[in-house]
Structure 1
Amino acid sequence: MIDRFWRAGARCVLASAVLLPLAAQAATPAEFVVSAGQMRALGVTVQRLDKPRAIRGLSYPARVILPPAQDVAVSAPVAGVVEQVLVSEHEPVVSGQPLLRLASPEFGQMQLAALQAANRNRLAQQALRRERQLFAEGIVPERRLREAEAAASDSRAAAYQAEAALQLAGLDPPAIARLTAATHPLQPSLTVKSRSAGLVVDLLARPGQRVAAADPLLRITDPSRLWLDIQLPAQRADAWAKDRDITVIGRSVTARAMQAGAVVGEGQTVSLRARVTAGVGQLRPGEFVQVQVPFVERTDAWPLPLVAVVRQDGQAYVFVRTAKGFEARPVTVLDSAGEAVSVQGPLGAGDAVAVRSVIALKAAWLGESGGE
């Protein structure tokens, strides 16, 4: 009997020990009194909420790159020796502008092959016209006409191929026409011309240098369009806002995100490609910058300074100004970026949230409830 009464008393003591902290926590008032004079003395300031929106994003490293279509590599069309370089590095050029001259025996052979192919094609076409006339008069059989047609077709194709090789080497169509018409002598050197406007950024050729076919000579870029290659942490690969501008820190440059990479890199980062929409002249291809990437817009999140949020027993709170003082309202922190956080909770437009001397308000709140 005594043992039964002892066990019952122990259970009561244990229940009291568990319920007392819960009762103390439940007794913590949500609202506590703080006068205007006390606010001034404590240095408390408030920020009035406007509307739910996303916080400004974190800063991430980015490299300025050229779109693939903006970077043109000029290579040697034929083997030869660089006679003269006609442009300098960092010089702007226009389409069709001469860049350098190559002395090339191979180019001379190509011209000779084109001239011979043109001559054979003219003879084949004359023979075809003669065979057609003879066939119409019944002098030759149809077989000879078909053979002449085949020979003319082959010679025409060979002439086109020889002319295409010269055009690929950089000779313009009027010059090819003069050459194949035998009204112009063979050229001892080839002038390499620019096929697009831009800026010479890498000049590799030097006078007297011997080059092989396809050796790089120089690079021309068009810096009027640039991209940013941004490295985002993998866990934020889908958190960026697709319809908001990315800003370059310290410069009046904005960009718009295009797409994120599908593969995570060695540093657990994802490459986000963005197109520069304003301030292109302030960037140089190849340089590294810091950019700010905005978060996705939320309709239920409020942006606040990081110092506006306090924690008590694992729960985040903010202090909202009331007629009597302040009210501690529980919130959930959704995102953080530097000195800003995005919170979700019982807040509304027009609420005045304490953003300075918040620790003093927490002490007053816990002191009124008997907390430490």
Structure 2
Amino acid sequence: MKKIMFIVFSACLALQAGAASFLPLSATQIQQMQVQWGHLQTQPTGLSASYPAEVVLPPTQSRIVTAPQAGLITQLSVSVGDTVKQGQVIGQISSPDLISLQSSYLQSETQARLNDQALKRDQELFNEGVIAQRRLQETQTAYETSQALMHERKQTLKLAGLSEAHIQQLTQKRRMQNGLAIIAPISGQVMEQQQPVGARVDLSMPIYTISNPKPLWLMIQLPVAQASKLSPGAAVRLPKLGLTAKVDTVLRQLNKNNQTTQVRASISQGAEQLSIGQIVDVALVENTAKDSFTVARSAVARQGEQAVIFVQQPNGIAVTPVNILLEQDQHLTIKADLKGNEMIAVHGVAALKGHWLGMGGK
């Protein structure tokens, strides 16, 4: 007997799933069910169903801070999680090799200065006819060679981490320094520290990793049909966070297992709410919002895969099937064959559902 009743009940559900049903309820019955009504809200912008996206840091937004010279780390002034500014001193290295580089530069600078004086003297002697042109040419060659060597060693000091101001001070005061500042190459957050204070490092050995998490990328996994509708500049939404991103590019490479492709979008405003590696839900902004509405989650009744809302009518209630496009916390974006000015049940939906399924009411 129970099996027969279940078959009949399932058949009723199948008939109801095909189209809207009408519940001829009186005002008294509706009041007894404690039904409350609310206005159906037209969705101003159409949103697609949600798709997964991974938050990724663009490679141009990350820098590895390396040792400017081999030596001993004597100070590190920031730690993982700290925020730094471009050009900020974040550590110090003591480097014996730096002394040798400075000494070589000073020697080349001295020789270049002497050759400059010799060239000026021989130029005057040549003009007076005291020396031959060959002598002047030899002096000119020596001057140019010494200038090239000086500029080469000056550039080596810059690569080692000395600034133009420090090199100028070295040239003027002839006083060498054995310490080098570790400078932040970009503004951002310290994501990783590879070396501790007291560590001996070689040239270009990693010390810090600094990342600027603004903007961030969203790598969205989309079906081919949806991806083909997008172009650079199109907007996508993160409904649960209330954020918007812009499409950068659509990758023309398919995942052969599920026939999806990746779309890359950038987000700047609100990027601080996201974490690298986080998986978020993204909805595409559609060009048309026809027949799309926003309703409270409590207004939608579900039966299996079917979803319905209860629309107020003069002599009862219309049970209207809906297609759920997007779920956002306590609100749903639905598509339904409605005008947009209807009143729908927002409370007492469970009682209406029970009456609809024949399990309550008279």
- The more displaced of 202-211 and 159-168 is 202-211
| Kept after mapping to 1: 8 A contact 2:235/2:284 | no
What's the TM-score, normalizing by structure 2?
0.68
Q: Which runs of 5+ in 1 are unaligned?
A: 1-27, 365-372
Match 1:121 to one of 82, 107, 112: 112
Inter-partner Cα distance in structure 1 for 2:244 and 2:22? 46
Which runs of structure 2 are paired with 1:194-273 in the superposition (5 Å)? 194-222=184-212, 225=214, 227=216, 229-234=218-223, 236-237=226-227, 242-243=234-235, 246=238, 249=241, 254-262=243-251, 263-264=253-254, 268=260, 270=262, 272-273=264-265
Instruction: Say which SS state the counterpart of residue 168 (structure 2) adopts.
Output: helix
| Kept after mapping to 1: 8 A contact 2:76/2:197 | no
Structure 1 pair 83/212, CA: closer, same or farther in 2 (3 Å)?
A: closer
| Kept after mapping to 2: 8 A contact 1:55/1:303 | no
Instruction: Say which SS state the counterpart of residue 221 (structure 2) adopts.
Output: strand
Q: Shift in Å at residue 89 of structure 1?
A: 1.7
Aligned to 2:28: 37
The reply on whether 1:171 has 2:126 as its aligned counterpart is: no
Instruction: Say which SS state the counterpart of residue 152 (structure 1) adopts.
Output: helix
Inter-partner Cα distance in structure 1 for 2:271 and 2:79? 24
Inter-partner Cα distance in structure 2 for 1:319 and 1:83? 71
| Kept after mapping to 1: 8 A contact 2:188/2:212 | yes
- The Cα offsets for residues 159-217 of structure 1, whole Å up to 9 and x where unpaired, read as 12211111121112232123334x32333443434445554442222344332211101
| Kept after mapping to 2: 8 A contact 1:255/1:274 | no
Bigger-Rg structure (1/2): 1
Match 1:190 to one of 171, 180, 193: 180
Match 2:126 to one of 132, 135, 146: 135
Inter-partner Cα distance in structure 2 for 1:66 and 1:336? 27
Instruction: Say which SS state the counterpart of residue 162 (structure 2) adopts.
Output: coil
Aligned to 1:48: 39
Inter-partner Cα distance in structure 1 for 2:189 and 2:279? 22
Structure 1 pair 83/300, CA: closer, same or farther in 2 (3 Å)?
A: closer
Match 1:323 to one of 302, 307, 314: 314
Aligned to 2:152: 161
Instruction: Say which SS state the counterpart of residue 58 (structure 1) adopts.
Output: strand
Counting matched residue pairs gives 325
Inter-partner Cα distance in structure 2 for 1:102 and 1:118? 24
Inter-partner Cα distance in structure 2 for 1:52 and 1:88? 48
Structure 1 pair 334/143, CA: closer, same or farther in 2 (3 Å)?
A: farther
Structure 1 pair 274/164, CA: closer, same or farther in 2 (3 Å)?
A: same
Q: Shift in Å at residue 88 of structure 1?
A: 4.4
Structure 1 pair 217/228, CA: closer, same or farther in 2 (3 Å)?
A: same
Instruction: Say which SS state the counterpart of residue 101 (structure 1) adopts.
Output: strand
Aligned to 1:278: 270
Aligned to 2:12: none
Instruction: Say which SS state the counterpart of residue 286 (structure 2) adopts.
Output: coil
Structure 1 pair 288/131, CA: closer, same or farther in 2 (3 Å)?
A: same
Instruction: Say which SS state the counterpart of residue 277 (structure 1) adopts.
Output: coil
Aligned to 2:293: 303
Kindly, what percent of the aligned residue pairs are identical?
A: 20
- The Cα offsets for residues 328-366 of structure 1, whole Å up to 9 and x where unpaired, read as 77x884835478353253x323123456366567669xx
The reply on whether 1:85 has 2:75 as its aligned counterpart is: yes
Inter-partner Cα distance in structure 1 for 2:235 and 2:263? 18
What's the TM-score, normalizing by structure 1?
0.66
| Kept after mapping to 1: 8 A contact 2:291/2:335 | yes
Inter-partner Cα distance in structure 2 for 1:230 and 1:277? 17
Structure 1 pair 208/322, CA: closer, same or farther in 2 (3 Å)?
A: closer
| Kept after mapping to 2: 8 A contact 1:88/1:203 | no
- The more displaced of 139-148 and 159-168 is 139-148
Inter-partner Cα distance in structure 1 for 2:20 and 2:270? 52
Q: Shift in Å at residue 310 of structure 1?
A: 8.8
The reply on whether 1:71 has 2:67 as its aligned counterpart is: no
Aligned CA RMSD, in angstroms, stands at 4.5
Inter-partner Cα distance in structure 2 for 1:29 and 1:155? 93
Inter-partner Cα distance in structure 2 for 1:318 and 1:332? 7
Q: Shift in Å at residue 38 of structure 1?
A: 3.9
Aligned to 1:335: 325
